[in-house]
Amino acid sequence: MKVLILKPSSLGDVIHALPLLRLLKKSYPQAEVHWWIEESLAPLLEADPDLAALQIFRRRNWGSPLGVLREIRSVAGLRRERYDWVIDLQGLARSAWFGWFSRGAVMAGVDSGREGARGLYDVAVPRPSPETHAVDWNLEVARALGVDIDCDFEWLPAPVGTAFKLPDPGANWVAICPGARWPNKRWPTEHFSRLVKELLERDKSLRIVILGSAGDAESNRIISQSAQDSCLDLTGKTSLPEMVECLRSARVVVANDSGPLHVAVALNRPLVALYGPTHAGRTGPYGMPNSLMRTALPCAPCQVPTCANPVERECLRVISPPTVVDAVLARL
């Protein structure tokens, strides 16, 4: 059997889709599984033991007629693969049409009710309830295809061979992930700075590692200054697999609703999850409700990328650094 999974982005969404891959391979060990993924995220899955191939989605190609032609040609190549199943976990028009043009024998997908994607599926799976987590919704697609979803699985296995490791691996590393795709999802920089300072004052054995993309460099530099010699600022200095291994080595992870947070969940790391505008039931730390820190405000969760509250990001600002310090120390 040959299967194509469509889940090109984002990092957190790809992490949420991995349990389907693991359980599919448990039910059908001989299946040859391919994954359609955005090229910037491909390093996450390049060495995945359950994947036979990656099919690369180059988002930048859609900005020019020549690029679109290249993407169309890549779809033509997929037709020759003759997939038995095409599984669309993105649930949007582009992924649905991509899957339809690949001409798999059976096409299944999440019925998001958006962009008419369900009209192209043989098997459309609606969200079971408004509170259903993204992971469980993906697994409902697997169930609809006859996959046993009641098995144990390792969500994000360690790579074979030498992996990137933090220096002084025996140290009590606390990983700080201040970034997020939406500015609205970011706990304030000054709160992170105070968190780092108070953590080190209360436990001098701790080491801090700050992770993020190059776009987070300025805010993360401000945070790192609060830690002085006890901080390793790796902002923009790690590949995606290296970031994963940093999180695997951490004793505790503190993160906004972001890709690194969901990686930490997949690695089963002790976690402090800072949530404000987003729906924790649908995209919160899966299976780790006790890791959540959030406050009840009439406007939250608003599910929008920019804040309209008179007090900007009040839902996050009211989560105090001392409260987060206590939560981190309790998880060590």
Mean pLDDT of 43-65: 85
Predicted confidence at residue 115, as pLDDT, reads 84
What does the radius of gyration of the chain's CA atoms come to, in whole angstroms? 21
For the cut 70, the answer to whether the pLDDT of residue 4 exceeds it is yes
pLDDT at 289: 93
Angle between helices 11-27 and 134-144 (to 10 degrees): 30
Neighbours of 176 (CB within 10 A): 28
**C-alpha to C-alpha distances, 93 to 103, 112, 162, nearest whole angstrom:** 16, 10, 40
In single-letter form, the type of residue at position 96 comes to A
pLDDT interval class at 231 (50, 70, 90): very high
258 DSSP 8-state letter: S
* Contacts for 159 with CB less than 8 Å, ≥ 6 apart: 47, 241, 245
* One-letter amino acid for residue 245 of the chain: E
Task: List the domains of the chain with CATH numbers.
Answer: 2-144 (3.40.50.2000), 172-331 (3.40.50.2000)
Q: What is the pLDDT of residues 5-34, one digit of tens each?
A: 999 999 999 999 999 999 999 999 999 999
**CA 250, CA 231: separation in Å to the nearest integer?**
13
First to last CA, the chain: 45
Tens-place pLDDT, residues 247-306: 999 999 999 999 999 999 999 999 999 999 999 999 999 999 999 999 888 888 988 888
pTM: 0.94
Q: What is the pLDDT of residues 60-99, one digit of tens each?
A: 666 666 666 776 677 777 888 999 999 999 999 989 998 9
**DSSP letter, residue 63:** G
